[in-house]
Structure 1
Amino acid sequence: MKRGKGMRFVGDSRVTADKQKFIPKDYSEYPGRTEAFWPNFLLKEWLVGAVFLVGFLCLTIAHPAPLEKMADPTDAAYLPLPDWYFLFLYQLLKYQFASGPYVVLGVIVIPGLAFGGLLLAPFLDKGPERRPHRRPITTSLMLLGIISVFWLTYEAAAAVDYEAKAENNKPVLEEEVEIDTEDPGYAAYENSCLQCHGGSLEGGAAAPSLIGIEYTADEIKEIAVDGIGSMPADQFQGTDEELDQLAEFIVSVNEEE
């Protein structure tokens, strides 16, 4: 018998003859539709993120966020505002259909539908196209989201005078000021003002700091007698001489800064 004669080979179609690693098609076969995740796509994402981060840091250095004075729970005229990135939700709650008896609609339902739509956008449009005009669902949802956020933020910010707000709520920097407790004016301060303004004139929850103010002695005496803002009148208890000593003491403390 010759070599190989009469021999039969049986093969299984489920088993490949040559095991080869899965090699995806070259991305040049899909121009404009897809690209390699590494390094092409990821590098672009990193570059965009780096540019945005550097720009954001430069903005925070050039225009630092204005701080406000110490919180005063007795000031009923104070209007608290959220940070700028929540202003669009703040503005949404001003509308009648999203406030009052419909507050659940404005707080949960509308934002939930909006963010849920953006979350589901990749699953609603699975086409291979990357051109925005060929992906109407995702493009429409994104444009609607961007326009809504920008418009609501603009409307909320336009109603607030931020310069005046920052000017009226300047923070009082902590200065190392020596308080002369032997001064006659400190005794008058201790009797009438210390409970609210603190032992070192640093202020507290119920009253602002008296360090860094620019009032004259006469203005201080008038405030002590007639009150100002949330401070009621007749807070000072003492003689006219003690009132003069109190005013001169507060002025002298601020002159030492």
Structure 2
Amino acid sequence: MKRGKGMTFVGDSRIPANKQKFIPKDYSEYPGRTEAFWPNFLLKEWLVGAVFLVGFLCLTVAHPAPLEKMADPTDTAYLPLPDWYFLFLYQLLKYKFASGAFFVMGAIIIPGLAFGALLLAPFLDRGKERRPHKRPITTGLMLLAFIAVFWLTYEAAGHVDWKAKAENNKPVLPEENAVEIDESDPGYAIYEANSCIQCHGGDLNGGAAAPSLIGIDKSVDEIKDIAVNGIDTMPAGQFEGTDEELQQLAEFIVSVNEQATEE
């Protein structure tokens, strides 16, 4: 059928004539912005963030953060300090206007205003320009935040002898009793058969469920009584065996302690 004069075309609005594919908008009129936010720009951001995250995780594995010794409330010379990324808040609380009677100002109001301003920065300055000098509100807030955090962190870190602090606060790990256990001893077989090894360990150094059996000052009869009647968190009836096996078990534990005392 050829188009001619007087011909009328009737279409149904429910059926689209052409199915248009998704075409990103043209951002060429915006200076410095020539690609769509989704998915082009956001995908690049994710890739860069993933690279930094993997690098940071590798760094933490290669150089783990040092642990300090266990808290000692009797050590009045200990200087508690937060991690480095909270040092600026720690320094802020030293000033008169943010400490003492005004601690709410330093702990809640000032940090709340600062982080609130950074959070609202994209909404306060919605200009199309991407050049920093053309966006004074956003640029000013970011520069002010960076300078404040840098200066407060520098001030807090400058008054601490970090080498001395790390040396004095090294964790002191409990030293295991280096006692050679004679596993061929008949008493050790009884010790193992009565499931003592599950709580006190194969080296008798104990664990989370039971104390160490090395370094105890108890006689053979006292150990026999404990094995039968229990003590503290150890219930009675744990030992199942003859009187001869009970004697061998107690003598074995005493002999291990005598060896530890000699060493």
Where on the TM-score scale, by shorter chain, does this alignment land: which range? 0.5 to 0.7
Letter in 2 for 1:124: L
Percent identical: 79
Counterpart for residue 125 of structure 2? 125
In 2: Cα distance, 1:30 partner to 1:117 partner: 26
SS in structure 1 opposite 2:74? coil
What residue number does 1:107 align with?
107
RMSD: 3.6
Alignment correspondent of 2:35:
35
**CA offsets 1:181-231 (integer angstroms, 9 cap, x no match):** xxxxxxxxxxxxxxxxxxx8xxxxxxxxxxxxxxxxxxxxxxxxxxxxxxx
Aligned to 1:72: 72
Question: Could you tell me which residue of structure 1 aligns to residue 173 of structure 2?
Answer: 173
Mapped to 2, the partners of 1:7 and 1:55 lie a distance apart of: 69
Poorly superposed stretches of 4+, deviation over 6 Å: 6-9, 17-20
Q: What is the TM-score of this pair, normalised by structure 1?
A: 0.58
SS, match of residue 106 in structure 1: helix
Between the aligned partners of 1:77 and 1:38, the Cα distance in structure 2 is: 55
Partner residue, 1:216: none
The TM-score normalised by the length of structure 2 is 0.57
Larger Rg: 2
* CA deviation after TM superposition for structure 1 residue 24, in Å: 5.3
User: Is contact 2:26–2:34 with CA below 8 Å preserved after alignment?
Assistant: no
1:85-234 to structure 2, matched below 5 A, reads 85-178=85-178
Question: Hey, what's the Cα distance between the residues in 2 that align with 1:57 and 1:23?
Answer: 38
Match of 2:45?
Answer: 45
Q: Who is 1:232 aligned against?
A: none
Equivalent-residue separation in structure 2 for 1:93 and 1:128 (angstroms): 39
Q: 1:173/1:80 Cα in 2 relative to 1: closer, same or farther (>3 Å)?
A: same
1:80 partner SS: coil
Q: Deviations over 1:86-118 (max 9, x none)?
A: 111001001111111111110111101101101
Uncovered stretches (5+) of structure 2, i.e. residues with no partner: 1-5, 181-204, 206-258
Q: How far apart, CA to CA, are the structure 2 residues paired with 1:117 and 1:178?
A: 60
Q: 1:25 to 1:65 in 2, by over 3 A?
A: closer
Q: Does 1:25 find its partner at 2:35?
A: no
Structure 2 distance, partners of 1:156, 1:63, is 24
> Greater relative contact order: 1 or 2 (C-alpha under 8 angstroms, separation 6 or more)?
1
Equivalent position SS for 1:27: coil
Q: How many residues align?
A: 179
> Do the aligned partners of residues 25 and 39 (structure 1) sit closer, same or farther apart at CA in structure 2, a change above 3 Å counting?
closer
